[in-house]
Amino acid sequence: MGNTEQTARVYLSLGSNIDRAHNIRSGLQALAAAFGELAVSPVYESEAVGFSGDAFYNLVVGIDTTLSVGELAAALRDIEKDHGRVRGEKKFSSRTLDIDILTYDDLTGEIDGVQLPRDEILKHAFVLKPLVDLAPDAIHPEIDKPYRQLLEESDFAGQALWVVEFDA
pLDDT at 2: 44
Please tell me whether residue 113 adopts helix, strand or coil conformation: coil
Give me the half-sphere count of Cα atoms (radius 13 Å) on the Cβ side of residue 142. 13
74 CB-near residues (< 8 Å, 6+ apart): none
Rounded distance between C-alpha atoms, residue 81 and residue 78, angstroms: 5
**Residue pLDDT tens, the chain, 168 long:** 444 578 999 999 999 998 999 999 999 999 999 999 999 999 999 987 777 778 899 999 999 999 999 999 999 999 998 887 555 555 555 678 999 999 999 999 999 999 999 999 999 999 999 999 999 999 999 999 999 999 999 998 888 899 998 876
Whether the predicted model's global pTM rises above the 0.85 cut: yes
Q: Which residue, 59, 32, 62, 65, is CA-closest to 46? A: 59
- Dist. CA 94–CA 19, nearest whole Å: 11
Give the Cα separation of 79 and 72 in Å (integer).
Answer: 11
Amino acid 92: pLDDT: 54
Amino acid letter, residue 129 = K
Quote the pLDDT of residue 93. 57
Q: Where are the alpha helices (DSSP H) in the chain?
A: 20-35, 69-82, 120-123, 125-134, 147-153
pLDDT for 161 = 92
